[in-house]
Amino acid sequence: MSQAHRAATLARQALAAGDLARADHLLTDTSGTDAVARAGLLRVRAQLALSGSGNALVQCRAISAEATELAAECPLPAALSLADAASLALCGHEPQLALTLLSRAGELAADEPEATRYVSLVHALVQAFLGNADGALATLKPILEPVERAEAIGDWLQHVRATALTLGVLERYDLCQQLTRRAVTAARDVGSTGFLPLLLNLQSNAAFLAGDHATALLAALEAQDLAEATGQAAMVAFGSCCAALVEAVRGHDASVKRHLARARAGIPDTGMEVLVTMSDVAEGLLGLSTEDVEGSVAAYQRVEERLARIGNRSSVLQWRADQIEALWRADRRHEAGVRLAAFDEQLRQSPLPWSSRLAAKCHGLLDAEGWTAQFEAAVAAHPPVLPAFERGRAYLLWAERLNAQGRAGEAATRAAEAGKCFDDCGAVIWSRRARQICDGRAAGLTPQSGVALRVRTLGDFALEQHGRPLPIKHGVPAQALKLFVAFGGQIHLEQLAEALWPGVPADEGRARLRNVVARIRSQLGPVLRRDADVLVLDADTDVREFERLAQMALTAARGDPSATERAVEALRLYCGEFLPADRYNPAMVATRERLHRIFLALLDRLADESAHRGDPVEAVRWLERGIAAERYDDTRHLRAADLLLASGHHPAAVEMLNRARQVAVELDVSPSPRLLEMECRLRRRLPD
């Protein structure tokens, strides 16, 4: 074997292990070698460039020029290198150049099926960038089909990464998640451990984009563990970045920082700029989650500068909207406007299928006129398969802009939509911000006639008639309505008067109460009636419906499908704790605690039902919601760790036990015997 052949082989091995610095070193001094060796080295150089080494367009032109020079003697490697160069052209936001390169690659690969397939995959990516979704999906169809021949699995797995990227551009995260899940299973079946860390990371990324955050975290943690065992530094860093993104959405500051520290410790050894960018994106998202806007602005500034340096203009577009949001939240409107103008100009030159939606959302934030229409366009453009988290963020920004304009009622409506989206994906910290806007409604009680009243007290206080929200003035009439709900819909006159005006003489309290009842009736109609000395509220309440559904769910037999259905319905009603704005009102405490216990019981029941069906990932997802609501009770941490351990997700089980131990540290108590026993059991299962 010649020195050049040996260098190409070693460079490919270094690239597979994520050691870009060594791969780059091995590519030097290749002039004068034979054409076959040069072609092999060129392919490695192209893959190295796609990993974020150097300026995309400069590398594209250099690689395409050398591939053209080698085409006569080595047509197949030249075709593959030209396809890689086309991918680099896309990174530089030059789809027409990519099409030209692919045309030449297709001619060279015409007689070789695998080379033709790879060229077609890159062509599908170009089609996706140009908005031809049907054409791209038709090209991808063979890759989306299961592979039957074991000997073909290696070639198929090589194509999964390019296919996942194309599906991401098309925003078909559902198909992307299916593909990566099947690829992981196939790699396990044939014992392809070298591929597994990459595939698990791709699965994590696909699940994250699909809004399945529990699966995303599990896959990322397993990828880190396997990559560390096989010495793949880049995959350890990739997995750490994936885990950091998930925890950033949840607002878990300590977890994000721990994952980012692990990623950044290994990134210098890999030389992969794309991983540095990914870690900064996670940090920027964490800043938006935790309202550390200056930290978010700084992180996205680093993303912008780095991607500009390596010529990756397409990725700049992907995170530009987040950067503009961070600048808007930091009250740096001029800088946000400059970024938006650059965004618009780039879209005019070469629009991407999903970028118009992001641009509309940014215009909704910054435009002086017509911004409501921009938000309407942004929300309407969200496809059904897009994860709830992204829809929720669009609604939340809309609500915040309305709130800033003093349009509190409209803001609350949009914030309620945002809250539902965030609840669906477990983004608790974002959901809390949406509820805060709902709690801030202002204005007077608006008269409505002849319409049944609905009172909402879970997550915020709101009145609805005909399904429309009523503005609320938070005075004595509103407080009286809250007390009716707290006491189950009916309350004795003297008890109500004492709760509203503690210590006031009974006669004076009754006189005041007559006035309050008259005001409520004049504004809301005959919603109060008297039964002897008891006042009764004739209205629907979310608390009553929540308790009815919860009772049905919690008393159903194990395995009864209706239990899951009723529990999920009840949880949709539980938009937050009972009347959080009245947290310190003693009349509300008992009801709040009772409803909170029911909420936790429903989550536990759903976790049990999921485990009973053999779906530990879904069970852990329900337990995570319980942990978020009652973080200093480690029983759910331990239950989740037990499920993860039993299902073979050892890295995720370790992470969960670490979180349980952190609870003990924060409470300044000794770890529970159950925690110690599980840690011991886990150590016996893990290799030394």
pLDDT tens across 33-70, in order? 567 667 767 766 766 666 655 677 888 888 888 888 88
Higher pLDDT, 250 or 486: 486
Q: Enter the tokens of residue 475.
A: 């005075």
Tokens 């308790």 correspond to 547
Per-residue pLDDT for 477 more than 80?
Answer: yes
413 plus 494 within the same structural domain: no
Please check whether residue 156 lies inside any domain of the structure: no
Higher pLDDT, 104 or 251: 104
- Helix (H) / strand (E) containing 592: helix 586-612
467 plus 554 within the same structural domain: no
568 plus 660 within the same structural domain: yes
562 plus 651 within the same structural domain: yes
609 plus 674 within the same structural domain: yes
- Residues whose CB is less than 8 angstroms from the CB of residue 150 and which lie 6 or more positions away in sequence, other chains included: 190
- Summarised one tens digit per residue, pLDDT across range 439-472 is 654 333 343 444 468 898 998 788 887 666 777 7
Give CA–CA dist 544/533, Å, rounded: 23
Please check whether residue 465 lies inside any domain of the structure: yes
Give just the sign of the alpha carbon dihedral 459, 464, 467, 469: negative
Please check whether residue 646 lies inside any domain of the structure: yes
pLDDT at 9 (0 to 100): 59
Residue after which a domain boundary falls, among 520, 538, 556? 538
Q: In this structure, are residues 374 and 367 in contact, taking their beta carbons and an 8 Å threshold?
A: yes
Per-residue pLDDT for 688 more than 50?
Answer: no
Question: Can you tell me the mean pLDDT for 555-566?
Answer: 83
422 plus 534 within the same structural domain: no
- Winning range, highest mean pLDDT, from 135-144, 420-429, 572-581: 572-581
Higher pLDDT, 555 or 266: 555
pLDDT at 573 (0 to 100): 86
Higher pLDDT, 449 or 357: 357
520 plus 628 within the same structural domain: no
Residue after which a domain boundary falls, among 538, 563, 588? 538
For 85-105, b/e burial (b = at least 16 CB within 10 A) is bbbbbbbbbbbebbbebbebb
Domains identified in the chain, total number: 3
pLDDT at 637 (0 to 100): 92
- Winning range, highest mean pLDDT, from 44-48, 173-177, 464-468, 478-482: 478-482
Q: For position 473, which CATH number holds?
A: 1.10.10.10
pLDDT at 247 (0 to 100): 86
Q: In this structure, are residues 485 and 541 in contact, taking their beta carbons and an 8 Å threshold?
A: yes
534 plus 640 within the same structural domain: no
Higher pLDDT, 631 or 149: 631
> 400-414, 482-496, 620-634: which has the minimum mean pLDDT?
400-414
Where helices occur in 447-505 by DSSP H, the ranges are 476-486, 493-500
Residue after which a domain boundary falls, among 538, 562, 583? 538
601 plus 678 within the same structural domain: yes
pLDDT at 636 (0 to 100): 92
675 plus 605 within the same structural domain: yes
Dihedrals φ, ψ of 76, to 5°? Answer: -70, -50
527 plus 652 within the same structural domain: no
pLDDT at 152 (0 to 100): 54
Please check whether residue 67 lies inside any domain of the structure: no
Q: How confident is the model at residue 318 (pLDDT cuts 50, 70, 90)?
A: low
Question: Can you tell me the mean pLDDT for 550-564?
Answer: 85
- Summarised one tens digit per residue, pLDDT across range 306-317 is 777 766 666 656
pLDDT at 272 (0 to 100): 65
Instruction: Give the domain range for residue 418.
Output: 387-439
Per-residue pLDDT for 154 more than 70?
Answer: no
Per-residue pLDDT for 13 more than 80?
Answer: no
- Of all residues in the chain, what percent carry a pLDDT higher than 90? 10
pTM: 0.61
In DSSP terms, 578 is beta-bridged to 458
Please check whether residue 632 lies inside any domain of the structure: yes
Please check whether residue 612 lies inside any domain of the structure: yes
Per-residue pLDDT for 319 more than 70?
Answer: yes
pLDDT at 447 (0 to 100): 37
For 365-392, b/e burial (b = at least 16 CB within 10 A) is bbbeeebbebbebbbeebeeebbbbbbb
In DSSP terms, 453 is beta-bridged to 465
- Summarised one tens digit per residue, pLDDT across range 185-214 is 877 777 777 778 888 888 898 888 887 887
Higher pLDDT, 587 or 133: 587
494 plus 623 within the same structural domain: no
Give CA–CA dist 11/75, Å, rounded: 21
Strands 540-541 and 453-456: parallel
